[in-house]
Amino acid sequence: MKTILLVPTGESVGLASACLGLIYALDCQGIKAGFLKPFAQEPHATTDRTTALYRHLFNNETVEPISHATVTRRLSRDENDELLEDAVRLHRDIAKKHDLIIVEGLVPNSHNSFASELNAALAKALDAKVVIVSTADIQNPKATAEKIEAQIRNFGGTNNERTAGVLFMRTKGLPADSAQVPVTIDPSLRLISDINTFSVELQKQNTHIGSASFPIIGLVPFSNTLSVPRMSDLVAHISAHWINEGDAQQRRVLHSSLIASNIEHELHKFVAGELIVSASDRIDVLLASSLASSNGIPLAGLILTEHHHPNEQVLDFCQTAIKQGLPIAHTPLSTFEAAQELANLSNEIPIDDTERADQVTRFVSSHIDPEWITQLINGSYQSRLSPSAFRHELVQKSIAAKKRIVLPEGDEPRTVQAAAICQARGIAQCVLLAKPEAVIEVAKARGIELPYDLEIIDPDLIRDNYVEKMVELRKGKINELQAREQLQDTVVLGTMMLTLNQVDGLVSGAVHTTANTVRPAFQLIKTAPEYSLVSSVFFMLLPDEVYVYGDCAINPDPDAEQLAEIAIQSADSAKAFGIDPRIAMISYSTGTSGAGAEVEKVAKATEIARQRRPDLLIDGPLQYDAASVESVGRSKAPDSKVAGRANVFIFPDLNTGNTTYKAVQRSANVVSVGPMLQGLNKPVNDLSRGALVDDIVFTIALTAIQAEQQATQ
């Protein structure tokens, strides 16, 4: 059992973010760490923030902390030992399922004057290694060192064997471009040079800080981007009421502006992420906000102040903006009072702001020293391919592949943002098919920074280059006029680019249907020589490991031969992404316990797949529970090497596969990546029309890896 206690030097150091970031870094190494917050921080809080966010981010259970009232009551009665026994009991509950536990200590504040003393006692009671969490200022190493020294004295000093190092959060004085938010953990973002320089300066104050015995585990920059609240958080804070809530849960306030002078002097303030605060009788402000929103500029929202309710007739003029989700709220506070209240909003991540928590977690984890993690693990833990590790490997493999991916929906806002991320992070060389001016307009409206080397190709300038070749490829099926007409569709145009090896892969579907994305691939690219069909898989990111589901999107009712081929394709896809495949051929019956045409089809498919690929672990027919639950597998198929341990699930038909993946995805709140098409000569992948930016990024990464795999075969 190994326990790491994170102890803050004071308030607002980012303690919760540090805990979650460390857990995520461990998760990316395949280590599922438990989490414990033994003592509640606030007197009246009904739900602990870090505990709630841990449950959501890692889909894992933990215990509730001991209430603040209980803590203070026990301490007032000199029942310190009994209180620590309670904490140990909670720790033991988590230890039943985890070999490594991250513990969040108490923050010393006006409610918790006993925090430092209790943290020191807790470290002994849990036999925990201690990591000090502190803010830092690169320009003021003396003050930083003093904060560390003041806290570390409680644990025997920096050279004590219990102290494991220091994690600096919200560090000031670092370059502005150091605060990049990665799509998954990205150790390349670590500021190694800055850490070394800062260590030298700190050691002038204390020779142990930054040394091998008390290392700097991470130097996390301060990020304005990750400190931004949602519009809904601000409105709740000032107790305003909604005129139109719109997208308040999603829109973030990057900056705010008080509009006091004539509107003609304030128009430059109407930009993406801007909160506009103005008196409710300023009709010009309301109309300007509406016009900006209608022009595609996603303002954070509008807060109208003073006692007057905004004019209903004016609001009627704003219906277009309202329908596009512009949040509008009203408060009776004066403009000045509202601004003061907004400035006092806490920087802590709200319990329900899981998007921000996820970003912060990835950001912090990227700055934690992976060598320190390796030493912490010390080969004593059985690694697994966790969802976090899968996403990390996905990005790293795509960066190494260096592939060129065409995006036919080139001016779609989510696609533009995903392309910018992939280009900036080296995930892929993205090619947007769109009018350059349209892409620039989308980027400007949404505050997206387009990398200088992002490729934007105007379809009108290249379309004629593909007419003749397309007629040749579809000889006897289309003429020149028909080819020219079909090439108006950028998906067809992008598919032609892929066919002619001008790009390595294609991703579409944010606005196109699956049929529109896949049909040109069937017509022009066709299946790989070793396969007779195209199928699909979803990567299901379950809490403890990644499953592969196939086929859930393409083949309605495959026969035994086709089902065997889907199994082989899916196994090879699993291997390509670091999953050692154990393939279960799913049916309503296990082994010979049932009969019927459908069971026989699965049994025959299993035999065909085994004959074609004796190197693969394949078994079937297996019921889903027999395939996935170890105890059931032992009972129903005791001699099977797959039962109870399967990670690749092949469904007998599309009805079963699609229903199962959606049921698991929605009911268990499981992230699914896909569908990824397999069996084509070149990689083409479809998006859900509700895809988030991150979904598109990961699909681009998938496509790049597929391209690399096909190139090396």
Distance separating alpha carbons of residues 471 and 460, to the nearest angstrom: 18
Q: Both tokens of residue 553?
A: 């999107």
* CA–CA distances in Å: residue 332 to residues 246, 307, 550: 21, 4, 57
Distance separating alpha carbons of residues 430 and 425, to the nearest angstrom: 11
Q: Both tokens of residue 17?
A: 């973010």
Among 315, 268, 261, 321, smallest CA distance to 291 is for 321
Distance separating alpha carbons of residues 421 and 697, to the nearest angstrom: 7
Burial of 281: CB neighbours in 10 Å, binned 0-12, 13-18, 19+: middle
Distance separating alpha carbons of residues 468 and 497, to the nearest angstrom: 13
- Segments in the chain below pLDDT 70: 1, 158, 379-384, 593-594, 713
Identify whether the C-beta of residue 471 lies closer than 8 Å to the C-beta of residue 660: no
- Rounded to 10 degrees, the C-alpha dihedral 281/283/285/286 comes to 100
Distance separating alpha carbons of residues 304 and 277, to the nearest angstrom: 6
pLDDT of residue 6: 95
The pTM is what?
0.79
pLDDT of residue 611: 94
pLDDT of residue 272: 87
pLDDT of residue 384: 65
User: Among all chains, which residue has been given the structure tokens 């592969």?
Assistant: 548
Q: Both tokens of residue 281?
A: 């009788």
pLDDT of residue 34: 92
Distance separating alpha carbons of residues 604 and 564, to the nearest angstrom: 8
Strand partners, 279: 305
Amino acid at 568: I
Identify whether the C-beta of residue 328 lies closer than 8 Å to the C-beta of residue 302: yes
Among 513, 490, 519, smallest CA distance to 503 is for 490
Among 569, 562, 493, smallest CA distance to 537 is for 569
CA 234 from chain center: how many Å?
24
Q: In what order do the strands lie in the sheet with 535-541?
A: 455-457, 429-433, 404-407, 505-508, 684-686, 671-678, 535-541, 546-550, 648-650, 582-586, 617-622
Among 581, 574, 575, 551, smallest CA distance to 563 is for 551
Report the relative pairing of strands 684-686 and 163-172 from DSSP bridges.
Answer: unpaired
Burial of 295: CB neighbours in 10 Å, binned 0-12, 13-18, 19+: exposed
Half-sphere exposure (Cβ direction) of 510: Cα atoms closer than 13 Å:
25
Burial of 208: CB neighbours in 10 Å, binned 0-12, 13-18, 19+: buried
| Residue 7 three-state SS | strand
